[in-house]
Amino acid sequence: MTVSVPAPAGETPSAKATWRDYLSLTKPKVISLLLWTTIAAMFMAAQGWPGLWLLIVVALAGYASAGSAGVFNMIIDRDIDHQMARTAQRPTTSGLISTRNAFIFGTALQVASFAALWFWATPLAAWMSLAGFFTYVAVYTLWLKRTTWHNIVIGGAAGCFPPLVGWAAVTGDLNLFAGFLFAIIFFWTPVHFWALAMMIQEDYKTVGIPMLPVVYGNRMTAAQIGLYAIYTVVLSVMPVYFGAVSWLYFFSALGLGGWLLWLSWKLYRYVMAGGQPSKQEMLPLYLYSMLYLAMLFLAGAADRVLLA
C-alpha cells in the first residue's frame, strides 16, 4: 500500500498552476496605478506624444519589474500570508506555485525588464526600475516591514520610482520636476497605506507586523494620515512655483487635494471622538487616495501636453 504524504505549504508541485496563477503573483491590481504614474510621467517629460514603441516597451518592462517585486514579496512573506484572510489564497501560500518556480519566474521578469529598458529605452530608466525593485524587496519586505512602524514611510519609496522610470525613458535624465513627482508619491503613500492598515489591523496584529495602527493605535494613525495629507497637497502645488506646470494643473491639484484633506480631517475627528474605524469608515479615504493620485498625474500630463 502506498501512503501519500502532503508536501509542505508553499512547496506543492505547481503542475496545476495556470498562467492566471502566475499573473496573480505579479499583483496586477497594485501595478495598475504604478503604471499609470509611469505613463503619465512620459507624457509630462515629452510634453506631447512620447512615441508608441517607447510607450509599449516602458509599459511592459515596467509591469515586469513591478511584478517581479510582487513575486519576491510573496516568496518572502509566505510564512505569514497564510495567517491573514487577505493573503491566505496567494499561490505561494496555498502551495499551488512552489517557491522554486516563483523564484525562477520573478528573476526572469526582472532580467527581461532591465534588458528591455536598457536597450530600447535608456540605461537610466533601467537603473531606476531596478532601484524600485530593490527598495521594495530588500528595504521594505526584508528589512523594515517586520521591524518598525516606519516600514511604509521609508519602504514606500519603492512606489515612487515608476514616474522616474517614465521620465528617464523619454529624456535620458532627471530634473527637479521629476523629483517632485517622486516626493508627491512618497508623502502620499502613508495616507493611502495607513488607511488600508487601519481596516485590516487585526490581521497585522495576528502576524506581528508593526504597522502604525498596531503599534500606536488609531488616534496616532489618523493624526499621521492628516499630517502626510498636508505634506502631499503642499508638494503637489509646488511645481507651479517653478514654472513646470500652469493653471490647469494648479486648479486640479487644489481641488483634488482639498477633498483629500477633507476626508483625512473627517477621519481624524471621528477617531478623536472615540470612533472605531471600520471598513465602512475607512473605504472612502482608501479608494479616493488612489483616485487622487491617478487624477493628479493625469492633470500634470494634460497641462504639460496642452499648455506647453
Residues 91 and 220 in one domain: no
What's the pTM? 0.93
Which residue type is seen at 272? M
4 in any annotated domain: no
| 115 against 90, higher pLDDT | 115
Return the residue matching grid coordinates 506581528: 208
Distance CA(82)–CA(10), nearest Å, equals: 10
CATH of residue 96: 1.10.357.140
* Domain end point (choices 173, 203, 225): 173
Structural domain boundaries, residue 256: 175-308
Report the mean per-residue pLDDT for the chain: 92
Distance CA(200)–CA(216), nearest Å, equals: 15
Q: Residue 307: what are its φ and ψ, rounded to 5°?
A: -115, 10
pLDDT digits (tens, 9 = 90+) for 187-231: 999 999 999 999 999 989 999 999 999 999 999 999 999 999 999
Q: In residues, how long is the chain?
A: 308
* Percentage with pLDDT > 70 across the chain: 95
CB 202 within 8 A of CB 162: no
3-state SS, the chain, equals: CCCCCCCCCCCCCCCCCCHHHHHHHCCHHHHHHHHHHHHHHHHHHHCCCCCHHHHHHHHHHHHHHHHHHHHHHHHHCHHHHCCCCCCCCCHHHHCCCCHHHHHHHHHHHHHHHHHHHHHHCCHHHHHHHHHHHHHHHHHHHHHHCCCCCCHHHHHHHHHHHHHHHHHHHHHCCCCHHHHHHHHHHHHHHHHHHHHHHHHCHHHHHHHCCCCHHHHHHHHHHHHHHHHHHHHHHHHHHHHHHCCCCCHHHHHHHHHHHHHHHHHHHHHHHHHHCCCCCCHHHHHHHHHHHHHHHHHHHHHHHHHHHHCC
263 in any annotated domain: yes
CB 62 within 8 A of CB 34: yes
b/e code 54-84 from CB counts within 10 Å (16+ = b): bbebbebbbbbbbbbbbbbbbbbbbebbbeb
Of the candidates 189, 169, 138, the residue with the CA atom closest to the CA atom of residue 60:
169
**Half-sphere exposure at residue 266, Cβ-oriented, CA atoms within 13 angstroms:** 13
Distance CA(218)–CA(214), nearest Å, equals: 8
Residues 260 and 299 in one domain: yes
Quick one: angle between helices 52-76 and 99-120, nearest 10?
150
**Is residue 305 predicted with pLDDT exceeding 70?**
yes
23 in any annotated domain: yes
Q: Residue 14: what are its φ and ψ, rounded to 5°?
A: -100, 25
Cell numbers at 116, concatenated: 528591455
- Chain CA centroid to CA 298, Å: 17
Cell numbers at 123, concatenated: 540605461
pLDDT digits (tens, 9 = 90+) for 166-195: 999 999 999 999 999 999 999 999 999 999
Residues 259 and 166 in one domain: no
Q: How many structural domains are present in the chain?
A: 2
Which residue type is seen at 240? V
CATH of residue 276: 1.20.120
The mean per-residue pLDDT over the stretch 75-103 comes to: 87
2 in any annotated domain: no
Residues 201 and 292 in one domain: yes
8 in any annotated domain: no
10 in any annotated domain: no
pLDDT digits (tens, 9 = 90+) for 3-43: 333 344 445 444 588 989 999 999 998 899 999 999 999 99
pLDDT digits (tens, 9 = 90+) for 278-289: 888 899 999 999
pLDDT given at position 52:
98
7 in any annotated domain: no
